[in-house]
Structure 1
């Protein structure tokens, strides 16, 4: 008897589950809920993308500001030492003067453009020319120091001075 009542209970349970799964109104409710969740997911993805773009802009602005601060500190420090002689043969001219002299050949390009993190084609050649000129005239500065001024890695400066018209840097 106990076995029959257990079998009857399992059968009733099976039929109830089957009815819930096969109910047509439930499938429509599920698809509506799925569409609602997909809409929420799309909204969250677009919000996330917008926030990512905002973060990238803020990081670029922060990098520009940091590079300007470093460059201004170098200019101020370089301005104090203009009369001093350098044992490496450099003239210790302020970075600002060196860059200004180079930028005369590149109208429309400013100091802010040179130290920015932008990679526009019109800025690459003047930026490299400025790096090369600073490297040649300020031998007291390391590649890393020049890289910090221009907000670039020291390997970028090394590639510029090795690749450019200035040769490998052996000439003064």
Structure 2
């Protein structure tokens, strides 16, 4: 299977890329830096989606980057690194004459308000209540495919708890 991974050179992306390649899958990484087995985000936007059966987006500035201050510039980078990349990949999928069978976005559980008593599931309703929950809401919204594409491409959102 051919898999396209946005952010495939990051912490989680490297491991997913290694795992898929070890299992015999062909992986193309979307990265800021060109190289073997990679395309850049600019190439994705200008040339469109390369042939693939699955697309995953793990791209985003490290939320716990010890080298960055929590200032407006860093917050802007947190949003743009996730939302812009997700939107670019979703648009490339939507414009593809042969979209992938699956489209996976890995976002975050910051959407759920902390509670000592509430139990949340993926079906739980939620409304943004702070910066990170607003980030998750905008991030996930940027991944939504048009209905015409969503009929053939399965959309999955994973909210890891760590």
Please indicate the TM-score interval, normalised by the length of the shorter structure: under 0.3
Higher relative contact order, structure no. (Cα contacts within 8 Å, ≥ 6 residues apart)? 2
The structure that is helix-richer by fraction is 1
Q: Which has the larger radius of gyration?
A: 1
| TM-score, with length taken from structure 2 | 0.24
| TM-score, with length taken from structure 1 | 0.23
The structure that is strand-richer by fraction is 2
